[in-house]
Amino acid sequence: DTAEKAAPHADGVGLLRLEHMLTTSGMHPIEYIRQGRSKELEEIIFDGVEKVAKAFYPKKVWVRSLDARTDEFREMKGGENEPHEYNPMLGWHGIRRSLDEPEILKTELRALKRLHEKGLDNIVWELPFIINIAELRKAKEIAKDMGAPSNFGIMVEVPACAINIEEFCKEGIAFASFGSNDLTQ
């Protein structure tokens, strides 16, 4: 909501989190899919990212793919079946969850594709909590199959990713950002 006010005073957006846009809807993202309302979910993502990308254009807007932790979405409609984890910060979220529930990732990628087609090429997509090359390959494969941009960046948030950063670079990433709070934990 404050993108237009902030844009003249900033060099871009370093981290735009999709989950903050989705919590205002009151419904868990997977519930949209279960109810056959993925187009509505796509519109929420499209509209939210578009507002920010337009306000900052041509400055870069780094958008993080959905990073829904089990505890954050449990109280939302459709979230009652979220698993209870001892430490959700290190649990089932980020790209692993997106690959386990690929319809959410596909919905995000459809929104990204439409935004790029609309000329908002200042949007850069990043994959959160990635651990291994296979996850990156699978996400790129899904994007390619959909005709969506696949020049993702990654968030380095776990030691395995940090240790293997050269392999990620060889595989082809647009950039890497560090999630120091998760990496430290």
What averages of pLDDT result for each successive group of 10 residues across the chain (185 residues)?
Answer: 91 91 84 93 96 97 89 84 84 90 95 97 95 96 93 94 96 92 83
pTM of the predicted model as reported, rounded to 2 decimal places:
0.91
Residues 161/177, Cβ–Cβ less than 8 Å: no
pLDDT value of residue 78: 84
Amino acid 15: pLDDT: 92
Environment class of 171 (CB within 10 Å of its CB; exposed 0-12, middle 13-18, buried 19+): middle
So what's the pLDDT on residue 141?
96
Q: Which two tokens stand for residue 109?
A: 């990628």
Q: What's residue 56's pLDDT? A: 98
